[in-house]
Structure 1
Amino acid sequence: MTRVGKYHLALIGVAALLLLMSLVRVVTGQDDITSSGTFSAALVLAVPIALAGLGGLWAERAGVVNIGLEGMMVLGTWFAGWAGYQWGPVAALVAGMLGGALGGLLHAIATVTFGVDHIISGVAINLLGPGVTRFLSEVLYREGSAASQAGGAITTSPPISGRPWEPSLPILSDGPDLLGKLESTHWFLLSDVAGILRGLTHNVNVLVLPAVLLLPITVYVLWHTAFGLRLRSVGENPWAAESLGVNVYRVKYIAVMISGAFAGLGGVFLVFFSTKYVEGQTAGRGFIGLAAMIFGNWRPGGLAVGAGLFGYADALRLRSSNSGAVTSLLLVGAVLLLAYLVMQARKLMSSDLDARNARQYTVMAFAALGMVGLFWLWLTVDRLPSELVFITPHVLTLLVLLVASQRLRMPKADGVIYRRGEQH
């Protein structure tokens, strides 16, 4: 399939999804499914996840598995809070990225220079990040210190000086709110599209713009520059890249430090939106970002879709006054599984008998069971327990990874220990 054909297929998929969400809204009466408030919150919640996933993308495209994104985000949040309350939001931005890059440097030293297993090193970073930040908080925010008197404590920093979270895009925010009026009509499809567009454009925080722009910048650098070609070649076959004169060690170091800086930037966003550092505020977003990257098949476009999906689930949980809107996702999931079964059945009918295998039938059987189970739950459960509503984004993460694992293609040398001149 050509690139143009893929874009057309993606547009058709988006249109079909919009139609499905509008139908579910009408059937269930849950306006939060496509409300501007939900999508505005989803955009904000997706930013840290996307930045963490983007960091993982840079590292793994260079052949270094980075499951230490969570620890690097923690470092980014602490350094952003520490610098932000003293010198303002710009200092917080720089310090947070440097803190994440420091975690990336430690990961690169362990994996690239000393050949430590990438998974072990990543786990160590995830343990080291919270431990180091807690130690620094106890030292710098101890009772009686200047930071403590300014509102800091062992588990939180003083508020950031200045207000970096208030400015918005004037062109999209000022003037008559036509999209808001159309959304309030609750017309089929039209009000849903208006709500989604308003949520993604009305009062958009300027801090979101750099994160959105980093996606096309990453596409350009990795797929349209000589440096990006060298980086991706290192992730596919470092010994072949070495034979062409590429300094594999240097490229890996650069990629992993950029990875840490992006994860730290995700932590900076969390600090900006909460106005200060709070211990544990990453809440596993580094791991969800890693899952979004895998869902996106190690590509920025798929990563953006995955981050948006997880951000939307979290926003729907936070925005809904009851669990009805979250419960309506069960119906959405059942219909999507039905569409998946129809497509797989068409593929089987058009293929030769010899090409069919038991694995395809097994996957279809589980998908059918899942569809029936979700539809039954939607019919019988009026309100989900609060505990299940809280873990909805994490359950969605697992389900998406199960579906996405059917088509993944990671870089060939991802996780391979490289030694110059010692090809495996």
Structure 2
Amino acid sequence: MTAPTTATDVNQPSLEHAPKTGRRLSLPVLMLIIAGALALTSIVRLITGADGITNVSQMSTALQLAVPIGLAGLGGLWAERAGVVNIGLEGMMILGTWFGAWAGFQWGPWTGVLVGLIGGCLGGLLHAIVTVTFNVNHIVSGVAINILALGATRYLAPLAFEGHQGGSAKQSPAVESLGHFTVPGLSDWLTDLNAKGWFFVSDIAGLLGGLVTNVSWLTLIAVALIPGTWWILWRTPFGLRLRSCGENPVAAESLGVNVYKYKYLAVIISGGLAGLGGVFLSIVANPFYLEGQTSGRGYIGLAAMIFGNWMPGGLAIGAGLFGYTDSLNLRGGSTNVHALLLLGALLLVIGAIWLAIRKKYVQAAVTLVVGALVFAWYAGTNEVPSQVVAATPYVVTLVVLALSAQRLRMPKADGMPYRKGQGK
């Protein structure tokens, strides 16, 4: 006779067997760290005169670039919390861009959003069938989906777009805008406050101003999905059962959880979120589909998810960081990246001091030397090469993952094969 399923029972195996990874940062401590980083950035702005690093336009652009990365990362989080590694996020984003633009230019942008989301869900369904039902290696399946999505859209684009005004074999006709909104009064006040150049206050105004100025409705939906995901996965019985499938599926099955069903749902939702990120690229960021426009954002979203330790809040911070560095390409990149060299040097010195306090003297010495080299680079130049500016988002991705790797804790059964009844 099957034992009744309760939230406490299902969660118990994962709590008992989860490896210890040190203390988790509380919200007040995290907010204090963010405020300290913003204050340090303000000091760098005052020293270098690079006002662009925290102005409203820079932050608004950073938010727009962070959204598709954050949506892809959310997709990865849903799948991996259920125990399925989703390397196919890039391919699902590609499907979202194509299907969103294809439906959008014919029937309107909101129809494009819905169809693009469905396109991503189809990619997720294929990944679920291959990995959950047939137990194919998750990495192999994900890579195959990326290749398949690229080939399929490359084949379909000429058939769907050629012969239409503005369309070609690699580009769709223009899609009507979803529309933007600006909070009246508040946006102007924050912009004026940011222009004053005051220490810290103007930088906060720039950050907040970017959140209320010329914001797409799809951006608002994407931002709302962050706390929505947290509430569903950590505050509902559905989310608890889904996470139990990623921690200990055998124990979850013994308590009556249909593991296959939850894995399927999680991976399909994962594909839908990645597809929504693709829709953002082809309808909001650019009002048309363009071959190759995802530019690896699915992989960067996966990196943001890992940086965030498989948690929505950390993922949002990671996506914001990567979106900000990507925005440097578009708005005075060379000057701003040169100023951030000084910020990097200061952060490395602070890191060296912290390591020394913890009696990790070798690591502290290496960190200090690297910080001195970065400062020498800043002091000996007036700007950085354009190639460095273009590579900044990817360099930051690698550095952040390297520095955060020691505190990560992935779901225990993530990527492991599972067969129904294997615990009997």
Structure 2 length-normalised TM: 0.91
| Pairs within 5 Å for 1:366-385 | 366-385=366-385
2:281 is aligned with what amino acid? L
Question: Matches of 1:203 and 1:389 in 2, distance apart?
Answer: 25
1:298 aligns with 2:310: yes
Count of equivalent residues? 402
- Per-residue CA deviations over 1:314-351 (Å, capped at 9, x if unaligned) read 1122111x512111111111212222222222233xxx
- 8 Å CA contact 1:173, 1:203 repeated in 2: no
Q: Does 1:396 align with 2:392?
A: no
Alpha-carbon separation, structure 2, partners of 1:47 and 1:175: 22
In structure 1, distance between residues paired with 2:27 and 2:177:
39
Confirm whether residue 168 of structure 1 aligns to residue 181 of structure 2. yes
1:243 aligns with 2:254: yes
| Partner residue, 1:76 | 96
The question of whether the paired residues in 1 share the 8 Å contact of 2:309 and 2:409 is answered with yes
Instruction: Give distance in 1, aligned partners of 2:65 and 2:132.
Output: 33
Are the counterparts in 2 of residues 32 and 316 from structure 1 also a CA contact under 8 Å? no
Instruction: Tell me the equivalent position of 2:6.
Output: none
For 1:257 and 1:196, locate their aligned partners in 2 and report how far apart those are by CA, in whole Å: 34
Q: For structure 1, which segment, 365-374 or 181-190, has the greater mean C-alpha deviation from structure 2 after superposition? A: 365-374
Q: Distance in 2 between matches of 1:299 and 1:313?
A: 21
Give the match's secondary structure for 1:403.
Answer: helix
Q: Does the Cα contact within 8 Å between 1:72 and 1:99 map onto a contact in 2? A: yes
SS of equivalent residue, structure 1 residue 319: coil
CA shift digits 1:322-381 (9 cap, x unpaired): 512111111111212222222222233xxxxxxxxxxx5554444233322221211112
Per-residue deviation, 1:423 = 4.2
* Counterpart residue type for residue 281 of structure 1: Q
Tell me what 1:184 maps to: 195
1:243-301 C-alpha deviation (Å, 9 max, x unpaired): 00111111100000000000000001111221111111111100000000000000000
Distance 1:260 1:176 in 2: 35
Secondary structure (helix, strand or coil) at the match of 2:329 reads helix
What residue in structure 1 maps to residue 3 of structure 2? none
Output the amino acid matched with 2:224.
L
**Residues 47-80 of structure 1: per-residue CA shift (max 9 Å, x gap):** 0000000000000000000011000000000000
Secondary structure of the structure 2 residue equivalent to 1:391 = helix
Residue aligned with 1:177, SS: helix
Contact 2:187–2:212 at 8 Å: present in 1 too?
Answer: no
Q: What is the 5 A alignment of 1:134-149? A: 134-142=154-162, 148-149=163-164
Q: Which secondary structure state, in structure 2, belongs to the residue aligned with residue 405 of structure 1?
A: helix
Comparing 45-54 with 203-212, which one deviates more in the overlay? 203-212
Alignment-mate amino acid for residue 400 of structure 1: V
What TM-score do you get using the length of structure 1 for normalisation?
A: 0.91
The one-letter code sitting in structure 1 at the alignment partner of 2:79 is: A
Alignment of 1:17-416 (within 5 A): 17-142=37-162, 148-160=163-175, 162-164=176-178, 166-169=179-182, 172-174=183-185, 177-273=188-284, 274-320=286-332, 323-348=334-359, 363-416=363-416
Residues 82, 238 of structure 1: CA spacing in aligned structure 2 closer, same or farther, 3 A cutoff? same
Aligned-pair identity in percent equals 54
Deviation sequence 1:190-224 (CA, Å, 0-9, x none)? 22222222122223222211000001110000000
Which one is further off, 245-254 or 187-196?
187-196
State how far apart, in whole Å, the 2-side matches of 1:217 and 1:33 are.
Answer: 30
Cα RMSD (Å)? 1.8
Give me the whole-angstrom Cα distance separating, in 1, the residues matched to 2:126 and 2:210: 39
Name the SS for the 1:187 alignment partner: coil
- Aligned with 1:155: secondary structure? coil
